[in-house]
Structure 1
């Protein structure tokens, strides 16, 4: 599910990070590589282009400011950026007390439906959206990262500041919760 990188790509990325620590101009390689991914990640959570542009800029500024603290943990640098992006989006919603936006594509629903081992012929998309309304913010965030953003358990854990195992356990509990809600809806 994760964005797999070759050893050469990882090595090149680590060189850019190291070079950026002494000369911020080298950060442009990272910015160019990840800007669109981070922008789309944030846009799916805000549904506002201007706000997304502002938050995306802030993510890259935070990454550059904190690049000396970055430690390679076997994940692409994008996990570090997604962690910052998640924090920025959460901070924005906490500060403004705005209603959180979630954009879900049909492919996302289908993947989640598959993971829940639900009958593929059953038309439950509307029920799935209703069931997801029962999730709290943290639970929805985990579903988004894992299924809508295609992050590995290790990346989900890193982005949310929990262990990989904890991310797995929590996501499977959330899936059980969704399955139970959906089963109740369709029995009624």
Structure 2
């Protein structure tokens, strides 16, 4: 019975910490389909940062206040939103078809780290109560992969059908909204 309860606690933990991956996938998907290498890179960071957080959370009750991690994560999302708005203004949106775009390795890593900050903080908290590192991190990776892929597909579909000419603007504004929500909540 305790194993079942622990399992559902871990599921809730990784889903809650990766919900922003769904929003990011949706936002990026509005600009085009996200390549698998980018999705996998971001998901790997989610799993790794969860593992690191769990490890250090298990060792100590904490050196960094939660608000530092929240501000850092929010700032990165805000800057990504501004970058998308600048890009939308600069390129005046081409016709959207079944296109994909490549963020590049640097952007994928930065985005993976930004999304991973939540996993780091949540993992740290989970480590304080003794959640298993391997199982929790693996589930965080899988959840991130599914959320980013699903969000990307849905965002791309919405962009093709509804917001063709405004996808870049909407995507940028969604990232800024995500940053503000992280600050408020």
Larger radius of gyration: 1
Compute the TM-score of the two structures, normalised by the length of structure 1.
0.27
Q: With structure 2 as the length reference, what TM-score do the two structures score?
A: 0.28
Structure ranking higher on relative contact order (CA contacts 8 Å, 6+ apart): 2
> Which structure: greater helix fraction?
2
